[in-house]
Structure 1
Amino acid sequence: MLLAALPGYTRQPHPGKRPSRPKDEVLLSFEDSTARLLDWTRWWNTEHRPEPLRGRTPLQAWQDDPTPLRDVPAADLWTFTLEDAGTRTLTTRGVRFRRRDYVGAWMTGQAGIRVRIRFLPHHDHRIEVYHAVTGRYLGPADLADQATEKQARAVRRARAARSRRLKKDLEASQRERYAAVTQAEPPRRLGALTGAQADAELARSAGTGLSQLALPDVIPPAAPPANWRTPASLAALTTPEQARPTPVQP
């Protein structure tokens, strides 16, 4: 009921028609949509009177129900949202989860014990650790060497730029057109490229390798000293021509 009344809701179109919405429709911000959801929830529970409840609101039906309740402490409610990730061995570096290290002050002197990891989905900055045998809660563990907010913003910008580039490439790849045929024969692509267009597109695709997409401010490693016995293949890549060591004759 709520979603169907919100701006941006796309109803099921008729067969053969694409879903659409008014071009001048203004979508809600996150804050506005949250406020709208809270207002609707209050209305549903305290004012709405569904027919099966015979004139009562959901809140009145809840209060009239004699079923006994057991209150769960608020501090324990979050445990129902955790997922199990199996057991690990606690080391001096903490506990390993998804190829990253998590540490906690309580881990001091606990290296070597088997622990069970539970985590809240999508909240990977912290995990909860339990004893693998007794099930006793040991404590939280936070991600070690967590990136700063500045680094996180830079990563989000890079991901957004990569997403836009991939979307553009996908749209371009789906613009293939083929000639009509009246008999069975190999498909013939339509559309022609100039040599300059082909060279430009190949140049753009050549810059999508992992080394080309590295952060521009990464400092390359310094060349090894000339007196090191560096393999010829490595020396050719890292050492300037004039400083390259003379090969040792066998």
Structure 2
Amino acid sequence: MCSPNAPRTWRNDVWEADHVQAPLRVDTDGDLVPPPYVTWFIDCATKAITGLAVTPGTPPRASVLAALRSAVLRNHPYGPVGGLPEQVHFDRGRDFLSRTVTTALTALDTDITVLPPYSPHLKGSIENLNHCVTRMLFAALPGHTPKKPQRRPDRRPQTAPPLSFEAFTGHLLAWAHWWNTEHQPAELHGTTPLEAWQADPTPLHDVPPADIWSFTLEDDGRTRTITSHGVRFRSRDYIADWMTGQTGLKVTVRFMPHHTHEIELCTPHGHHLDTAHLADQASDEQLATLRRTRTQRARHLRDEAKAAEQLRHTRFAPATEPVPPRRLDATTAAAAARELDQHQHQYTDLADLALPDLIPPAAPPADWAIPDALKARTRPSDPTEDSP
């Protein structure tokens, strides 16, 4: 493992991967989104950051795939650090252990080492990188909120506006470039990660960008047909101009997880055709209104759940003798009737509105044995119903 005391190996021998949360909120289209996460890979031998991806909020497996793609590719705008690693070490995060990520690394002929839980010392390079970026970059950005409270908290008001997501990503990429080109880790004895990388004679193994694109996309394993409405995928239609005249063509779908705005279409043999986009996609104004509506509804449901929990809470009277417990939930009859009536009107089961007795069922056959009470609830038999 790449602990601080482990002997140095060679470039692309072992990579480590992890997420780190930036303890600050960023502005996205006027809304403060949850703290962003950075997903990145580091080469243990040279301490070079090979690739990274930034995600507002909790990173899904798509973040790992995007970071892996940027780490392996060495052409513009990536590189010069990169190539295929022999091993990748990461912890037991659900996104790193997903089938998509493990399939991509296996297709790249990379060995995967899943570290045991609660063992940050076994991935010392990436843990040190997380610590450095938190102390050296995140702490200096506007809106930084330390996870551990300070002994003497800074009570001065925050005058600087929060960073936009674009500005935060720019600061992070600039810091990663500084780390690779100017920073001199103690383990490298006066050289930068990029200098150590370039001085290493170990041959590099590059993968064509088209293959990387293919390996880092999911495939649901189904074959679909292009119709006049495009391609049906997950109850949605996807269309593109290049589909004109292609009706009846058999295709497979490859996609980036959670990127529902577009999909990639390939032939059943794996040849990439082109991109298809979501048909009848909602406008930006509609999406903004929908997000606001969902936020208001979530806030209303939280307030309602909190109020309902307070109403449900029961207090009991203290006892000094062995008597049954006495509830302290006395209320007026009018208040109880009002709350029950409100609950009935708000949460009426749709089955109660079906009026099952509006049209009585037909009489059963004469040879059926049923209770007399049920016979009285059936309608008289119609002679025409038995006629052929």
For normalisation by structure 2, the TM-score amounts to 0.43
Going from structure 1 to structure 2, the CA distance change for 1:23 and 1:190 (only over 3 Å counts) comes to farther
Aligned-pair distance for 1:73? 5.9
Match of 2:201 in 1: 66
Going from structure 1 to structure 2, the CA distance change for 1:112 and 1:31 (only over 3 Å counts) comes to closer
Structure 2 distance, partners of 1:187, 1:111, is 74
Match of 1:107 in 2: 243
Structure 2 distance, partners of 1:173, 1:44, is 53
| 8 Å CA contact 1:177, 1:190 repeated in 2 | no
Q: 2:263 aligns with which of 127, 149, 154?
A: 127
Structure 1 distance, partners of 2:307, 2:238, is 43
Match of 2:299 in 1: 164
Q: Which moved more, 1:63-72 or 1:47-56?
A: 63-72
Number of residue-to-residue matches in the alignment: 206
- Structure 1 stretches lacking a partner, 5+ long: 14-19, 210-231, 234-250
For normalisation by structure 1, the TM-score amounts to 0.62
Structure 1 distance, partners of 2:287, 2:293, is 10
Equivalent residue letter for 1:10: K
Matched, 1:140 2:272: no
| 8 Å CA contact 2:226, 2:251 repeated in 1 | no
The C-alpha deviation readout for 1:81-112, integer Å capped at 9, x for no partner, is 32222223214222111100111233334333
Match of 2:168 in 1: 33
Aligned-pair distance for 1:141? 1.0
Q: 1:96 aligns with which of 232, 246, 262?
A: 232
Matched, 1:11 2:148: yes
Going from structure 1 to structure 2, the CA distance change for 1:191 and 1:28 (only over 3 Å counts) comes to farther
Match of 1:16 in 2: none
Aligned-pair distance for 1:22? 6.7
SS of structure 2 residue aligned to 1:89: strand
Aligned-pair distance for 1:117? 0.7
Structure 2 distance, partners of 1:110, 1:38, is 42
Structure 2 distance, partners of 1:163, 1:151, is 18
SS of structure 1 residue aligned to 2:202: coil
Going from structure 1 to structure 2, the CA distance change for 1:65 and 1:148 (only over 3 Å counts) comes to same
The C-alpha deviation readout for 1:29-69, integer Å capped at 9, x for no partner, is 23443243223213321232222222222111111122333
- Structure 2 stretches lacking a partner, 5+ long: 1-130, 349-357, 360-388
Matched, 1:154 2:289: yes
| 8 Å CA contact 1:90, 1:110 repeated in 2 | no
The C-alpha deviation readout for 1:121-161, integer Å capped at 9, x for no partner, is 232111001112x2111211111111222222221221121
SS of structure 2 residue aligned to 1:96: strand
Q: Identify the structure with bigger relative contact order (alpha carbons < 8 Å, sequence gap 6+).
A: 2
Structure 2 distance, partners of 1:198, 1:61, is 78
Q: Identity rate of aligned residues, in percent? A: 40
1:186-225 superposed matches below 5 A: 188=327, 199=338, 203=342
The C-alpha deviation readout for 1:178-210, integer Å capped at 9, x for no partner, is 43677997795769699569847975995689x
Going from structure 1 to structure 2, the CA distance change for 1:68 and 1:205 (only over 3 Å counts) comes to farther
Q: 2:254 aligns with which of 112, 118, 143?
A: 118
